[in-house]
Chains A and B, each alone.
Chain A
Amino acid sequence: QQQVKQSPQSLIVQKGGISIINCAYENTAFDYFPWYQQFPGKGPALLIAIRPDVSEKKEGRFTISFNKSAKQFSLHIMDSQPGDSATYFCAASTYGGYQKVTFGTGTKLQVIP
C-alpha cells in the first residue's frame, strides 16, 4: 500500500514537445505529492509539489495534474528543452510530522533537438 507506481520508465521527446510522466498511488493517507528532478551525477532536487486540495499546479513550463478519485497524478513539461533531460521521480508522503517519502521508480527523459 506504500507503493508509488511511475510510468514510463524512459521517454524521448523532441524539443518543443510535451513530456508527460504518470504516477499512481494506493495509500489514501498520502496528501503531499512532490516531483524531484535528478541530473547525472547529482542528487535529486525538488522540482514542484502539489497537495490534493487542488487539481493542478503550474510553475513555468512544469505542471502537475492531480486526480484524487483515481489516485493518480502526472507531470507535464511544456515546450520541452534539451536541458530538461534528466531523471524525474514522483513521490508521495503525508504532509506534516515524519514524512516517510515514497519515491516512484523514476523516468529517464531525453529531449532531442
Chain B
Amino acid sequence: DAGVIQSPRHEVTEMGQEVTLRCKPISGHNSLFWYRQTMMRGLELLIYFNNNVPIDDSGMPEDRFSAKMPNASFSTLKIQPSEPRDSAVYFCASSLAGNSGNTIYFGEGSWLTVV
C-alpha cells in the first residue's frame, strides 16, 4: 500500500528561482497538509486542504508561497522567488478526517536547499 509520495526528494536551487514541490496523498484520504521542518522552528503547518479546498492557510509564511490541490490525488507547493531562508524539509501529509482521532501520514519529505 503506497504511502504519501513526494517529489523531488532533494532540490538545490539558486536564490530567486521558482521551486515546485509535489505530493500524491494516500488514496481515499480527504485531508492534505503541507508542513515545514527546520531546526529552529520545528514542525510548522503551512496549509491544510479538506476535499481539495484550502481550509487553513494561516501558516503560509508570505506571498512567495502558494499551494494548490487541483484534484484529490495531487497537490503542489510553490515558492517564487525562493530565498536562502526557505531552506528546510517540506513534508506533505494526508489523513482521513472525520469523527475520530485521525492519524496523519507523512511523506518522506522534500529537502530544499536555496543557495
Given contacts A98-B97, A101-B104, A106-B42, contact A43 B48 (CB under 8 A): no
CB distance from A106 to the nearest CB of B (A): 6
Q: Does B71 contact A (CB under 8 A)?
A: no
Q: How many residues of B contact A (CB 8 A)?
A: 25
Q: Does B98 contact A (CB under 8 A)?
A: yes
Complex contacts, A99 vs chain B, CB 8 Å:
95, 97, 101-102, 104
Instruction: Name B101's contact: one of A41, A45, A51, A105 (CB within 8 Å).
Output: A51
Q: Tell which of A10-18, A65-73, A76-84, A89-97 binds the partner.
A: A89-97
Q: Does A49 contact B (CB under 8 A)?
A: yes
Q: How far is the CA of A101 from the CA of B55 in the complex (A)?
A: 14
Complex contacts, A42 vs chain B, CB 8 Å:
108-109
Question: Are A46 and B45 touching (Cβ within 8 A)?
Answer: no
CB 8 Å contact bits of A49-60 with B (1 = contact, 0 = none) = 101000000000
Complex contacts, B108 vs chain A, CB 8 Å:
41-43
Closest to B95 in A: A99
Instruction: Name A32's contact: one of B91, B93, B101, B107 (CB within 8 Å).
Output: B101
The range of chain A's interface size is 20 to 34
Instruction: Name A44's contact: one of B31, B43, B48, B56 (CB within 8 Å).
Output: B43
Q: How far is the CA of A97 from the CA of B101 in the complex (A)?
A: 9
Q: How far is the CA of A95 from the CA of B99 in the complex (A)?
A: 7
CB distance from B85 to the nearest CB of A (A): 19
Given contacts A89-B43, A103-B43, A106-B43, contact A95 B101 (CB under 8 A): yes
Given contacts A43-B106, A43-B108, A46-B104, contact A97 B43 (CB under 8 A): no
Instruction: Name B93's contact: one of A43, A93, A98, A104 (CB within 8 Å).
Output: A43
Q: How far is the CA of A51 from the CA of B108 in the complex (A)?
A: 27
Complex contacts, A51 vs chain B, CB 8 Å:
101
Cβ-closest 5 pairs across A and B: A43-B106, A96-B99, A103-B43, A32-B101, A105-B42
Interface residue ranges, B against A (CB under 8 Å):
4, 31, 42-43, 45, 48, 50, 55-56, 91, 93, 95, 97-109
